A = this chain, B = another copy of it.
Amino acid sequence: MNLALLFDEDFVAPDRVVLRGRRLEHIKSILGAAIGDRLPVGRVNGLMGLGEVISLTNSEAELIIKLDQQPPRPLPLTLILAMPRPKMFRRILQTSATLGIKDIWLINSYKVEKSFWQTPWLSDDNLRENLTLGLEQAKDTAMPRVHIRKLFKPFVEDELPALLEDKEALVAHPGTPTPCPTHLNRPAALCIGPEGGFTPYEVGKLEEAGCQSVHLGPRILRVETAVPVLTSRLFNACL
């Protein structure tokens, strides 16, 4: 936690917050903060700054805050991801938030196991918690939006074409002849398949909707590795 992210419910006055639970634990145990210390804080979807600890008990910390800095620029990337295996999903969410991705679509694919959609990590509270951990790591405040689409065909036919408008649209597809571009640094949409990849039918449908198939070289990367590798490759100027 390189910054404590503040939510509306933390505020007891316009310049004063009370923190409990995980953030309190971190402030006490990891940072070893004392009264008078100043810690990096930021308001969700708002400014960042410092919070001065004015009281500290076993159950809560109270801070007077001053917010006067803009968060880092968002990445202009729409990430369209076949729903990952639950044990990877949590890390991928956190990493995506840390990297500055603000728009995440979770879609179905033939190789997504039905059980993946049952994971408790998809609840609103758990999505928010993991995205918060990613933002707190990065020192960012802009909460990503996550969209869940459990049917592949209606998403690709009815929603995707509008989503791709004015963007460079790519699908990561090992074995295709075109390498993934570098230094794009302009709005893009990137589709990443499940373990084992999208099926040829699915790649065909994504191409029909406007995506170009690109590869990342001869190595096959896990999804959790492909997300930072592709992001870094496309947006070297924004990271």
Q: Is B219 a contact of A140 with CB atoms below 8 Å?
A: yes
Complex alpha-carbon distance, A183 and B183, angstroms: 10
Complex alpha-carbon distance, A187 and B238, angstroms: 25
* A139 in contact (CB, < 8 A): yes
Complex alpha-carbon distance, A229 and B140, angstroms: 18
Complex alpha-carbon distance, A184 and B38, angstroms: 39
Least CB distance from A111 to B in Å reads 12
* A221 in contact (CB, < 8 A): yes
* A55 in contact (CB, < 8 A): no
Complex alpha-carbon distance, A217 and B219, angstroms: 27
Least CB distance from A150 to B in Å reads 24
* A182 in contact (CB, < 8 A): yes
Q: Known A228-B229, A228-B232; judge A221-B98 contact (CB<8 A).
A: yes
Q: Which residues of B contact A99 (CB under 8 A)?
A: 219, 221, 225, 229
Name the interface residues of A175-195: CB closer than 8 Å to any CB of B: 182-183
Least CB distance from A39 to B in Å reads 14
Q: Is B98 a contact of A218 with CB atoms below 8 Å?
A: no
Least CB distance from A135 to B in Å reads 10
Complex alpha-carbon distance, A140 and B220, angstroms: 9
Q: Is A219 a contact of B183 with CB atoms below 8 Å?
A: no
Out of B72, B220, B225, B229, name the residue touching A217 (CB < 8 Å).
B72
* A147 in contact (CB, < 8 A): no
Q: Which residues of B contact A222 (CB under 8 A)?
A: 95, 98, 137
Write 25 A-B pairs (CB below 8 A) sorted by A numbering.
A95-B225, A98-B219, A98-B220, A99-B219, A99-B221, A99-B225, A100-B219, A137-B220, A138-B220, A138-B221, A139-B219, A139-B220, A182-B236, A216-B239, A217-B238, A217-B239, A219-B239, A229-B229, A229-B232, A230-B232, A232-B232, A232-B233, A233-B233, A233-B236, A233-B239
Chain A residues within CB distance 8 Å of chain B: 2, 72, 95, 98-100, 137-140, 182-183, 216-222, 225, 228-233, 236, 238-239
By Cβ-Cβ distance, the 6 closest A-B pairs, closest first, are: A232-B232, A72-B218, A138-B219, A228-B228, A229-B232, A217-B239
